[in-house]
């Protein structure tokens, strides 16, 4: 939800911190701030709004130094104001702290701290944490503050906290020392030459180093120019692994594109190739998914599959339900993670759970995973972010390998999720009902998919023109049947989240049960109508819309002339089997939403009120 960055080294800290913050801006952009520690003084700068406002403030009020922490905020507790912007200070003003997460018991702690004379200057839960650490230091009453004293105070304070945190801390009396800790919110240490970094996401670090340590829950880090230590919240050292990040600065920059979203849409041929790489076995005519950690006989004993996620990932899960049921003939259900975590629906013993999450940090999805594991169900994850909490807490799973997705609107992660679900359906199908011939045919189709996606992307200019044509409309309907119903939902979500236009997705046949009342000359319907078994039904529905003067934009299979005759506009996708159409049909809808939002002047990469990963309920 928020993003934090810390730096200690020989370089000027401000440019490093600002660069890191800009790369984390997708995590929140309500306000931003930093603290630099120099010559025993803390210099704080905070600004409401985007990082550029903080950068401007720093031009007017520059600050130099080689150690600092910074933060970009997505407001949870307290409105958007400078007072609520991080970093927050303790009572003495000697300790500064930045925080990503939510302190659930902050009200009780705040009352208690007020009783001890603390005066709060913000409404945030984070200031409570800063005050609490400061209070623990005060109780020790020892000066000067040493590294051990501060770590001890952090441990005591953090043990009292309910909720989630990834924090960065500096203290006036500890020059050259950067501190961090995590529980439930990501935190990564970047190891440079004579410098160290802290960040919520490696994207903030890869321009400086690819050597990182992903901190685990209940771990703390102390870093200085030439070294670092990792210890546990309980006290004592921890073993850790130094990882090399697979991607570099190029992949987290916009390159030649004006927006991350457009770049990520155009990356899809390659992201899909990467998702499949090494996973197609022509010999056995199946998919190889070793990360599931399940033998064929264990998979065969699965009686039911549950798929869960939020937002776009939930739409992918809905497609997955169709895929696994039709390819593997296995009963499959799909549920919002936010519902699953609180429901007590009966789940048979041999239920296999998949949670789906690009970030691997979504709070509701994580809680659904934990709940299913608590009840003894084998629970697997389909994630993009390899070091994420969901990936770590699951019993296994499949990495999407789609590469970093920075645009707030999910694009390439959706198509990779649907592709992974195809691979899972193929694998389970091959141990149940699919013959090797059928398996081979599916593999052949999968291999051709990236080229078909390239063909769809080649129609980008025509889709841009179409988006401009409809940009003055105030309301949109998206309609699809079967596995293309979730595609309609995804098309509607893309449009509303980046253009703020009301757009809703529906099963096409539901039109006549009420939704048709919305049809008029100014309400376009985007109908996904590929040449499949229900094409004639879709054609009739399109006629019904046209009879009521509703404009129709159809997404259809190349060469289907009858569609051209009834729809006002047609977006063509290459011929493909039903199980791959949801991928091909979604891409034009991503482009349509993107170009429409751009023509309305919207900030597509950072839509209002949203953040990329939602780590609160």
Tell me if 362 contacts ligand AGP by CB under 6 A.
yes
Q: Give the Cα separation of 219 and 239 in Å (integer).
A: 10
Q: Give the Cα separation of 146 and 138 in Å (integer).
A: 13
Toward ligand AGP, which CB reaches closer, 358 or 560?
358
The interface with ligand AGP within residues 396-415 (CB under 6 A) comprises 408-410
Toward ligand AGP, which CB reaches closer, 268 or 365?
365
In this chain, which of 313, 340, 566, 571 binds ligand AGP, going by CB under 6 A? 313
Rounded to the nearest whole angstrom, what is the least distance from the CB of residue 271 to ligand AGP in the complex? 14
**Count of residues near ligand AGP by CB under 6 A:** 15
Toward ligand AGP, which CB reaches closer, 23 or 208?
23
Distance of CA 475 to the CA centre of its chain: 27
Toward ligand AGP, which CB reaches closer, 313 or 566?
313
Q: Give the Cα separation of 359 and 484 in Å (integer).
A: 24
Rounded to the nearest whole angstrom, what is the least distance from the CB of residue 402 to ligand AGP in the complex? 11
What are the φ/ψ torsions at residue 82 (nearest 5 degrees)? Answer: -65, -40
Of 5-13, 179-187, 206-214, 311-319, which part binds ligand AGP (CB under 6 A)? 311-319
Of 296-304, 357-365, 426-434, 509-517, which part binds ligand AGP (CB under 6 A)? 357-365
Beta bridge partner(s), residue 181: 167, 220
For residue 136, with 0-12 CB atoms within 10 Å meaning exposed, 13-18 middle and 19 or more buried, which class applies?
buried
In this chain, which of 76, 275, 365, 590 binds ligand AGP, going by CB under 6 A? 365
Of 243-251, 308-316, 504-512, 527-535, which part binds ligand AGP (CB under 6 A)? 308-316
Q: How many degrees, rounded to 5, is the angle at CA 490 between CA 370 and CA 380?
A: 25
Toward ligand AGP, which CB reaches closer, 125 or 490?
490
Tell me if 161 contacts ligand AGP by CB under 6 A.
no
Toward ligand AGP, which CB reaches closer, 314 or 481?
314
In this chain, which of 359, 416, 484, 538 binds ligand AGP, going by CB under 6 A? 359
For the chain, the C-alpha Rg in angstroms (whole number) is 26
Rounded to the nearest whole angstrom, what is the least distance from the CB of residue 50 to ligand AGP in the complex? 19
Tell me if 352 contacts ligand AGP by CB under 6 A.
no
Of 200-208, 358-366, 424-432, 544-552, which part binds ligand AGP (CB under 6 A)? 358-366
Q: How many degrees, rounded to 5, is the angle at CA 587 between CA 246 and CA 483?
A: 105
295 φ/ψ sector (left φ>0, alpha ψ -120 to 50, else beta): beta
Task: Decide the pairing of beta strands 304-309 and 332-336.
Answer: parallel
For residue 53, with 0-12 CB atoms within 10 Å meaning exposed, 13-18 middle and 19 or more buried, which class applies?
middle
Of 55-63, 238-246, 355-363, 512-520, which part binds ligand AGP (CB under 6 A)? 355-363
Instruction: List, by residue number, the catalytic residues.
Output: 2, 612
In this chain, which of 31, 72, 268, 357 binds ligand AGP, going by CB under 6 A? 357
Rounded to the nearest whole angstrom, what is the least distance from the CB of residue 28 to ligand AGP in the complex? 13
What are the φ/ψ torsions at residue 527 (nearest 5 degrees)? Answer: -110, 120
* Axis-axis angle for helices 412-432, 311-328 (nearest 10): 20
Q: Where are the alpha helices (DSSP H) in 117-245?
A: 125-140, 147-159
Tell me if 523 contacts ligand AGP by CB under 6 A.
no
In the complex, residue closest to ligand AGP by CB: 311
Q: Give the Cα separation of 585 and 527 in Å (integer).
A: 10
Tell me if 358 contacts ligand AGP by CB under 6 A.
yes
Toward ligand AGP, which CB reaches closer, 33 or 311?
311
Number of Cβ within 10 Å of residue 513's Cβ equals 9
The interface with ligand AGP within residues 576-615 (CB under 6 A) comprises 613-614
Beta bridge partner(s), residue 48: 31
Rounded to the nearest whole angstrom, what is the least distance from the CB of residue 197 to ligand AGP in the complex? 23
Site string for ligand AGP, 464-503 (x = CB under 6 A): ---------------------------------x------
Of 70-78, 354-362, 511-519, 587-595, which part binds ligand AGP (CB under 6 A)? 354-362
The interface with ligand AGP within residues 43-72 (CB under 6 A) comprises none
In this chain, which of 72, 286, 312, 389 binds ligand AGP, going by CB under 6 A? 312
Instruction: Output b/e per residue, 230-249; b: 16+ Cβ within 10 A.
Output: bbebeeeebebeeeebeeee
Tally the residues of the chain: 617
Toward ligand AGP, which CB reaches closer, 12 or 603?
603
Rounded to the nearest whole angstrom, what is the least distance from the CB of residue 47 to ligand AGP in the complex? 25
Tell me if 310 contacts ligand AGP by CB under 6 A.
yes
Q: What is the 3-state secondary structure (H, E, C) of 268-321?
A: HHHHHHHHHCCCEECCCCEECCHHHCCCHHHHHCCCEEEEEECHHHHHHHHHHH
Toward ligand AGP, which CB reaches closer, 209 or 365?
365
Toward ligand AGP, which CB reaches closer, 209 or 358?
358
Q: Give the Cα separation of 607 and 612 in Å (integer).
A: 10
Helix (H) or strand (E) holding 555: strand 552-557
Which residues bind to ligand AGP, rule: CB under 6 A?
A: 310-313, 357-359, 362, 365, 408-410, 497, 613-614
């Amino acid at each position: 939800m928020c993003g934090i960055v810390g730096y200690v080294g020989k370089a000027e800290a401000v440019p490093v911190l600002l660069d890191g913050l800009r790369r984390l801006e997708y995590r929140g952009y309500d306000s931003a701030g930093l603290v630099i520690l120099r010559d025993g003084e803390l210099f704080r700068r905070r600004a409401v709004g985007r990082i550029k406002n903080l950068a401007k403030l720093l031009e007017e009020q520059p600050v130099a130094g080689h150690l600092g922490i910074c933060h970009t905020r997505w407001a949870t507790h307290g409105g958007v104001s400078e007072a609520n912007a991080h970093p927050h200070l303790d009572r003495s003003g000697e300790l500064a702290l930045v925080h990503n997460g939510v302190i659930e018991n902050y009200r009780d702690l705040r009352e208690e701290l007020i009783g001890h004379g603390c005066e709060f200057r913000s409404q945030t839960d984070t200031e409570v944490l800063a005050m609490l650490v400061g209070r623990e230091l005060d109780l020790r009453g020892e000066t000067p503050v040493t590294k051990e004293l501060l770590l001890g105070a952090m441990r005591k304070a953090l043990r009292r906290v309910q909720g989630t945190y990834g924090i960065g801390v500096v203290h006036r009396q500890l020059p050259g020392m950067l501190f961090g800790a995590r529980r439930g919110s990501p935190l990564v240490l970047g190891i440079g030459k004579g410098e160290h970094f802290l960040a919520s996401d490696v994207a903030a670090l890869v321009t400086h180093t690819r050597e990182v340590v992903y901190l685990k829950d209940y771990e703390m880090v102390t870093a200085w120019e030439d070294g670092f230590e990792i210890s546990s919240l309980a006290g004592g050292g921890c073993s850790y692994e130094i990882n090399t990040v697979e991607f570099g600065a190029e992949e987290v920059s916009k390159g030649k594109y004006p927006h991350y979203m457009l770049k990520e849409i155009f990356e899809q041929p390659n992201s899909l190739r990467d998702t499949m790489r090494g996973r197609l076995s022509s010999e056995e005519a199946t998919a190889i998914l070793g990360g599931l950690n399940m033998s064929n006989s264990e998979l065969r004993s699965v009686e039911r599959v549950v798929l869960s996620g939020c937002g776009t990932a939930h739409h992918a899960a809905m497609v997955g339900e169709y895929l696994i049921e039709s390819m593997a003939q296995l009963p499959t259900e799909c549920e919002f993670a936010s519902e699953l975590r609180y429901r007590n629906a009966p789940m048979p013993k041999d239920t296999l759970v998949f949670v789906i999450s690009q970030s691997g940090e979504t709070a509701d999805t994580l809680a659904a995973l934990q709940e299913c594991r608590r009840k003894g169900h084998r629970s697997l994850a389909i994630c993009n972010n390899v070091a994420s909490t969901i990936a770590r807490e699951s019993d296994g799973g499949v990495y999407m390998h789609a590469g970093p997705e920075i645009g707030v609107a999910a694009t390439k992660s959706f198509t990779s999720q649907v592709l992974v679900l195809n691979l899972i359906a193929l694998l389970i199908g091959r141990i149940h009902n699919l013959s090797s011939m059928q398996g081979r045919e599916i593999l052949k189709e999968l291999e051709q998919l990236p080229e078909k996606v390239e063909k769809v992307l080649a129609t980008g200019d025509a889709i841009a023109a179409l988006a401009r044509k409809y940009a003055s409309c105030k309301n949109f309907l998206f309609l699809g049947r079967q596995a293309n119903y979730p595609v309609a939902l995804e098309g509607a979500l893309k449009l509303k989240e980046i253009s703020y236009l009301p757009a809703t997705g529906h099963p096409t046949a539901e039109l006549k049960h009420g939704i048709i009342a919305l049809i008029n000359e100014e309400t376009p319907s985007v109908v996904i109508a590929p040449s499949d078994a229900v094409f004639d039904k879709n054609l009739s529905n399109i006629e019904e819309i046209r009879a009521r003067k509703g404009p129709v934009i159809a997404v259809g299979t190349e060469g289907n002339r009858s569609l051209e005759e009834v729809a006002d506009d047609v977006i063509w996708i290459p011929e493909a089997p039903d199980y791959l159409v949801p991928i091909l049909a979604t891409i034009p809808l991503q482009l349509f939403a993107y170009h429409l939002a751009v023509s309305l002047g919207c900030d597509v990469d950072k839509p209002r009120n949203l953040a990329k990963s939602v780590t609160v309920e």
